[in-house]
Amino acid sequence: MNTEYQVMEEEDDEIDLGELFFVLRRHLLVLILCAVIGAAAAFGYTDLLITPQYESSSMIYIFSKTTTISSVADLQIGSQLTVDFEILGTSRPVLEKVISDLKLNTTYEDLLKTITITNPTDSRIIRVTVQNPDPKLACDIANSVADNLAARVAQVIDTDKPSSVEEAVPAEKPISPSIPKNTAMGMIAGFLLAMAVILVRYYSDMTIKDEDDVKKYLGLGTMAAFPMEKSIAGAAGVKGAKK
């Protein structure tokens, strides 16, 4: 008896993928509608409420114009200098000089959040990248940071000012947010949310509708089934109402 009950319980716990498919197919229009609503909401939020960010980059060479490879005892010095450049590029003296030169209405901490100093792999170039809602301002900040960084390096290391490789230019398109990506994510989120609600309501509905439900929920077999004629039931309802 216990074995039969255990087998029945295990069968109840199994998920019938075919059953799930037909349940979701019956609510296909609801799923599509929720996906469209999710996509529209994500599109509207991204387009109207999120401020676009533009990105500009400038590059400088870590050696000065007078430095030659023959004067460098060890080429690994270049790798060591890149670390120094990255640290100096985000130092307070450099960024406060940028704020002063461009007359920015910001603080050192806030400006620091918008600047990224990187060293491309296997190169002796430092890239200064700036993000800002104003493409022209992002360009100006990137160029100013690169110029003040080179001057600071020359001052600290007591050498000639490093050379500029490439100046930043204003970006034509924002780097973020991505409207297509956010719209697609909203559509997927709306679809999955609707699917979750449908499945939760389906599996939480324990009412018995047919002989399969009798076996599923009560573990009993059905000896006979009597179909209900809707027209007869409706007529009976009308007679009862007249009485």
Is 27 in the same domain as 128?
Answer: no
How many other CB atoms are found less than 10 A from the CB of residue 27?
A: 18
Q: State which residues form the domain around 87.
A: 54-166
Is 155 in the same domain as 96?
Answer: yes
Residue 171 in domain = no
Residue 25 in domain = yes
Q: Of 142, 166, 190, which residue sits at a domain end? A: 166
Residue 172 in domain = no
136/144 Cα distance (integer angstroms): 12
Is 134 in the same domain as 154?
Answer: yes
**Domain of 128: which CATH number?**
3.30.70.1130
Strands of the sheet with 54-64, listed across from one edge: 115-118, 125-132, 54-64, 162-166
Is 62 in the same domain as 159?
Answer: yes
Is 110 in the same domain as 17?
Answer: no
Q: What is the pLDDT of residue 134?
A: 95
Q: Which long-range contacts link 49-54 to residues 24+ away (Cβ below 8 Å)? A: 50/177, 51/133, 52/133, 52/174, 52/176, 52/177, 53/131, 53/132, 53/133, 53/174, 53/175, 53/176, 53/177, 54/131, 54/132, 54/133, 54/134, 54/135, 54/138, 54/170, 54/171, 54/173, 54/174, 54/175
Buried b (16+ CB within 10 A) or exposed e, 128-150: bbbbbeebebbbbbbbbbbbbbb
Q: What is the pLDDT of residue 125?
A: 85
Q: What is the pLDDT of residue 135?
A: 95
Residue 149 in domain = yes
Are 177 and 46 in contact, with CB atoms under 8 Å apart?
yes
Is 187 in the same domain as 218?
Answer: no
Is 112 in the same domain as 195?
Answer: no
Is 11 in the same domain as 110?
Answer: no
Is 140 in the same domain as 216?
Answer: no
Is 63 in the same domain as 149?
Answer: yes
Q: How many domains does the chain have?
A: 3
Q: What is the pLDDT of residue 6?
A: 47
- Low-confidence residues of the chain: pLDDT under 50: 1-11, 13, 69-76, 238
Beta strands 162-166; 54-64: pairing state: antiparallel
Is 93 in the same domain as 40?
Answer: no
